[in-house]
């Protein structure tokens, strides 16, 4: 069962969960903060932390039967999609590779996974950080953003969202482990594709050393984005920034 710890303010919910994990906190420990003083997103980008939005991180201690850490991006995105569907009609929500949730085509949340442990069975854990724009959203950013309130949806209390999100994560972890290490991702892949935006569309993928253009044609069994280049070659993208969706 998840245990939610509420803080008026922390530097970063991810940093707090990492500290708790290093001191032996159990699987399913969640930190929820009203405010972050040093929130961050992917690649160290600052995360605006206005009060009224959701800032939380869950500690996931992975069991031997659970798959690679990389698959958690899809698991957390599905849990967040299902959680927001309790207030937003599903036709307004989409998933964007690998783990963005879009509301009316704009980014409404962010996910940051940080893993640690020795990597040995029984000693793998992840700090799964989630931020949701319930009331406020950043402007003048590379990817257009939105909040529930700006979309005309009465924003629920952050703690209520966090409680339902923790339950949704537990649900998708059960789905993940039900197929075993070899096949557990299949259920996540099918569910993710049914909620995805951009399949069959032409996109731009920015990699550290090049930018590729092509058609988003599928999701590989390991979660890689399959990009069909203009030459007809299909390239597996495991990490990159996607634009054009």
The model's pTM: 0.91
The answer on pLDDT for 13 being more than 90 is yes
Residue 38 has pLDDT above 70, yes or no: yes
CA quadruple 174, 66, 166, 20: dihedral positive or negative? Answer: positive
Q: pLDDT by residue (tens digit) across 132-176?
A: 999 999 888 878 999 999 999 999 999 999 999 999 999 999 999
For strands 241-243 and 234-237, give the pairing: unpaired
In terms of Cβ atoms closer than 10 Å to its own Cβ (0-12, 13-18, 19+), residue 24 is exposed
* Domains of the chain, CATH where assigned: 3-194 (3.30.930.10), 202-243 (2.30.30.100)
Helix, strand, coil fractions of the chain, as percent rounded to 5? 30, 35, 40
């Amino acid at each position: 069962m998840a245990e939610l710890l509420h803080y008026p303010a922390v530097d970063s919910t991810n940093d707090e969960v990492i500290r708790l994990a290093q001191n032996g906190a159990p699987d399913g420990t969640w930190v929820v903060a009203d405010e972050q003083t040093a929130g961050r997103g992917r690649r160290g980008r600052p995360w605006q932390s206005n009060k009224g939005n959701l800032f939380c991180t869950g500690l996931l201690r992975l069991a031997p039967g659970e798959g690679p850490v990389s698959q958690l991006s899809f698991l957390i995105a599905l849990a967040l999609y299902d959680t927001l569907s309790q207030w937003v009609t599903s036709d307004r929500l989409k998933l964007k590779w690998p783990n963005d949730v879009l509301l009316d085509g704009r980014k409404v949340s962010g996910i940051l996974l940080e893993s640690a442990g020795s990597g040995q069975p029984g000693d793998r854990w992840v700090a799964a950080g989630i931020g949701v724009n319930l009331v406020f959203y950043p402007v003048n950013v590379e990817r257009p953003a939105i909040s529930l309130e700006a979309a005309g949806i009465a924003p629920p209390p952050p703690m209520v969202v966090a409680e339902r999100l923790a339950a949704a994560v537990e649900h998708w972890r059960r789905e993940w482990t039900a197929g075993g290490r070899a096949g557990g991702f299949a259920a996540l892949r099918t569910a993710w594709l049914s909620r995805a935006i951009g399949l069959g569309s032409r996109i731009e993928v920015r990699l550290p050393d090049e930018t590729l253009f092509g058609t988003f044609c599928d999701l590989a069994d390991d979660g890689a984005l399959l990009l069909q280049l203009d030459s007809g070659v299909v390239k597996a993208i495991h990490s990159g920034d996607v634009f054009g969706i």
